[in-house]
Amino acid sequence: MADVGAVFDLPAARGDGGYHLNDVEKQLGGRYNAREIRTAVERLVNDGAAAGARDRGLAAHAACAGLLYSTFDEMHYKSTKY
C-alpha cells in the first residue's frame, strides 16, 4: 500500500486543503477500496514512518512518505512535507 502514501506527494495533493480520500481512490485506479485507503492513511497519520517500517506494505515507501495530517475534515489529508 506504499502507493497510498505516494499519492500525497503528487502536485495535486499539495494544495492548502489537502487531498480528498475519494481522489486518492480515483488516483489509484481502484486498486484499493475506501476502507484499505483509510487504514493506510490512518497509519500514516498516527504512526508515520514508524508504522510504515513495521508494515511490509508501506516499508518501501516509509522513508519518503513522511506523516500525513487532516486539513479541515476527516476526508482531506496532506503530507507534512508540503
What phi and psi, each to the nearest 5 degrees, are found at residue 66? 65, -160
Q: pTM of the predicted model, to two decimals? A: 0.74
> CA–CA separation, 46 vs 2, rounded Å?
16
For residue 57, the model assigns a pLDDT of: 52
Q: Are 57 and 2 in contact (CB under 8 A)?
A: yes
For residue 50, the model assigns a pLDDT of: 55
What lies within 8 Å, CB to CB, of 80 at 6+ separation is: 66, 67, 68, 69
Per-residue pLDDT tens digits for 24-37: 999 999 899 999 99
Q: Where are the domains of the chain?
A: 2-79
> CA–CA separation, 17 vs 57, rounded Å?
27
Per-residue pLDDT tens digits for 17-75: 999 999 999 999 989 999 999 999 999 998 765 544 444 454 444 444 458 999 999 99
